[in-house]
Structure 1
Amino acid sequence: EGFELIANASPDIENPKKNIPKAYYYSVIFVIILYVIIAFITVGSLNFSQIATAQDYVLAEAAKPMLGQVGFTIITIAALISTFSAINASIYGGSRVSYEIAEDDELPHEFTAKLWNQPIGLFITATLTLLAANTLKLENISIAGSIGFLLIFAMVNFVGFRLAKQIKGNKLIPLLGFLFCSIATVVLVIQQYPSNQIGIIIAAGIIISCFVIEYIYKKSEKKKI
């Protein structure tokens, strides 16, 4: 999750056809190596009971044996910075998506407007993010976001499968991606519904709202024509 933001930045990337694939390969490989190293360090520093106890701050706890409380504090601060970076990237990516969709006439052209030299979608996304963060529980946001991401990934892979000849791609990879994302979505809903119905309802509400808003917008545009 998060790698899709690379594509959202394509309008601002020099020679995107060449550099975006490179960005994907480099970032995925780097993250895999980084996560494997982190896993080795964590398991080497803590036993499994300690990992289970400190599951919410396990990396900070893993720094304690070598660096003490200073290491714990450093990792905690680094985690906060990383979180801010992720939020910033998500908001930026979301604003670019709304801008591009509006340019393709799938959203009102007002979304292509700029405020303080930034797409208006950036401020809308930031406002909605703050609203959700301050009114919903974290677990509800997490589940709704996970379902949303899985569905988006499934649809992107499905489109990649359908347009494989046009984009000169491999049909098998996006087909597998579509199937696995779809299965993961169903499993997630089944698993979480008994304990987190609100999160599932929020996700369903967002999806339905998107379809309704798009339907109303398209209908209003047809009337103008």
Structure 2
Amino acid sequence: MGKLKIGWKTATALVVSNMIGTGVFTSLGYQIGDLKNTYTILLLWTIGGFLALIGAFIYSELASKFKESGGDYIYLSRTYHPVLGYLSSWVSLFVGFSAPISLAALAMLKYLNVFGLDLGKEYAVGIILIVALFQSYSLNLSSHFQNVFTILKVVFILLLIGLGIYFVPSIPQNSILLDDSWTDELLLPAFATSLVYVTFAYTGWNSVSYIFSEIKNPKINLPKALFIGVVFVTIVYVLLNYVFIKHASVESLAYQEDVANIAFANVLGENGVKWVSFFIALQLVATVSGYLWIGSRLTQATAKENKLWNFMAPESKNGIPIRAIWVHACISIGLIFTVDFEVIFTYTSFVLQILATLAISTAFFIKSKDLIIIRSKLFYVLPTVFLLFSLYICYFVLQSKPKESLFGLGIILVGIILFYFDQRIKPDKDK
């Protein structure tokens, strides 16, 4: 019997789960402090979705070209040099996947504490361990677990949007400002830095490209899952931010993280908003599951080709990379008890942006005759647009956060040293 594979519905659930985490519920506060016009805010979230959609088309082509699970590791290693793929996996092992798992688990505690529950970090650890157990059993069980919690996530968010649109604002003045000032705000440095927060909230659009070999008929189902997932999330993000702006003042939202609670306290009251917090916490289970699923596959792809990582390569009889799953789980748990790990996560976001930019650039090496979605040279406009925006973001991150960016470059240097050490011990494998 062949290896069990997932269909487009589960693949789409993974895209949605990896994209919708805490970002959309927190980012607006950092944007509206400097950007007051509603058109500007909604344009930011539309641009983020547009870039994610471009990326989805590009990754569909890349995945179909290389026909391997592993995402950025495969694209960078096969196109440029193995050291770049190694660096991608090195940063992702701790930051790209494990840190978001920790952030999501800790965010659950924060949202659940509105009920007066005094939940310690041990609760976050328990969530990660339970999800890892489900992931370790079989692909079928993982799929059902992912689908159930993604459905819950989607229903909850659509309900929030419905309530927000239906109810009339109960406050004297909300944050809606519809005039021509948006044209001036586009030229502000704050617009560029706000785009960084938006792109972070859209992180995960490329998730299912990492599990190409686990998808049925991937040349059809992978682009389908990416397209449906990204378009859905973009619409949700734009509508959610409109609802937040509609039901809260600029003064109450500016530089605050819990924008969803602030806005919906004006809709549902103090008791009603507690249930909003509860369901924000519950939908984060799908986020933890999605990152653990995808991250372990990237790590396994790297482990198959590198000696230092090789212990994470084996699969169970059900085709599950159990060791890789539990390594990510253990790293995530370790990060929970590391005081400054959120700072480290901020520092390395610059590195993740650089590596993502390099991964997108590999699309220029796809021959036009091998394209499967946009079968013309017009396809190459997509990576060009994505790279221009990405370099624009990198420039402003480097300019506004030079210390953090240099720290991230230091992590790259450590990864390079590890790579060449790994290469030196590889001959022992053949003895």
TM-score in terms of structure 1 length: 0.83
Cα deviation, 1:91-143, whole Å, max 9, x if unaligned, reads 2211100112333x245432212479543122222222232332243541332
Alpha-carbon offset, residue 189 of structure 1: 2.4
- In the alignment, the residues of structure 2 paired with residue 7 and residue 189 of structure 1 have an alpha-carbon distance, to the nearest angstrom, of 28
Is 1:221 the counterpart of 2:430 in the alignment? no
Name the SS of the counterpart of 2:300 in structure 1.
Answer: helix
Which residue number in structure 1 is paired with residue 212 of structure 2? 10
1:43 corresponding residue in structure 2: 245
Other structure's SS at 2:254 match? helix
Question: Which residue in the other structure is 2:336 paired with?
Answer: 133
TM-fit CA distance, 1:48: 1.2
Moved more, 67-76 or 163-172: 163-172
User: 1:138 and 1:79, CA in 2 relative to 1: closer, same or farther beyond 3 A?
Assistant: farther
Q: By how many angstroms is 1:27 displaced?
A: 1.1
| Closer/same/farther in 2, CA of residues 203 and 84 from structure 1, 3 Å limit | farther
Residue in structure 1 matching 2:362, options 142, 159, 177: 159
Is 1:178 the equivalent of 2:387?
A: yes
Q: Partner of 2:277 in structure 1?
A: 76
- 1:61: which partner in 2? 262
* 1:151–1:185 contact (8 Å) kept in structure 2: yes
Query: 1:63, 1:72 within 8 Å by CA — same for their partners in 2?
Result: yes
Check whether the contact 1:6–1:24 (CA below 8 A) recurs between aligned residues. yes
Q: Percent identity?
A: 18
Q: Deviations over 1:61-85 (max 9, x none)?
A: 2112221123311221222233343
Indicate whether 1:212 and 2:417 are aligned.
Answer: yes
Q: Which residue of 2 aligns with 1:187?
A: 396
Q: Distance in 1 between matches of 2:292 and 2:211?
A: 12
Task: Specify which of 213, 234, 255 is matched with residue 32 of structure 1.
Answer: 234
Counterpart CA distance in 2 for 1:106 and 1:173 is: 33
| Structure 1 equivalent of residue 38 of structure 2 | none
- The 1:132/1:183 distance shift into structure 2, 3 A limit, reads farther
Q: Separation in 1 of the partners of 2:411 and 2:339? A: 14
Aligned length: 219
Supply the distance in 2 between the matched residues of 1:153 and 1:95 (Cα, whole angstroms). 18
Is the Cα contact below 8 Å between 1:132 and 1:141 reproduced in 2? no
Give 1:19's aligned amino acid: N
The CA distance in 1 between the partners of 2:408 and 2:387, in whole Å, is: 19
- Aligned residues of 2:348 and 2:407 also touching (Cα < 8 A): no
Q: Aligned ranges for residues 117-132 of structure 1 at < 5 Å?
A: 117-132=320-335
Alpha-carbon distance change, 96 to 210 in structure 1, aligned in 2, over 3 angstroms: same
Question: How far did 1:15 drift?
Answer: 1.2
Q: Cα gap change, 1:73/1:86 in structure 2, threshold over 3 Å: closer, same or farther?
A: same
Unaligned segments of structure 2, at least 5 residues: 1-202
SS at match of 1:135: coil
Q: Give me the whole-angstrom Cα distance separating, in 1, the residues matched to 2:269 and 2:362.
A: 50
Between 33-42 and 142-151, the greater mean CA deviation after superposition: 142-151
3-state SS, counterpart of residue 388 of structure 2: helix
Indicate which of 309, 313, 316 corresponds to 1:112.
313
- Matched ranges for 1:80-95 at <5 A: 80-95=281-296
- Contact 1:157 / 1:175 at 8 angstroms: preserved in 2? no
Given the two structures, how large is their TM-score scaled by the length of structure 2?
Answer: 0.46
> Does the 8 Å contact 1:153/1:178 carry over to 2?
no
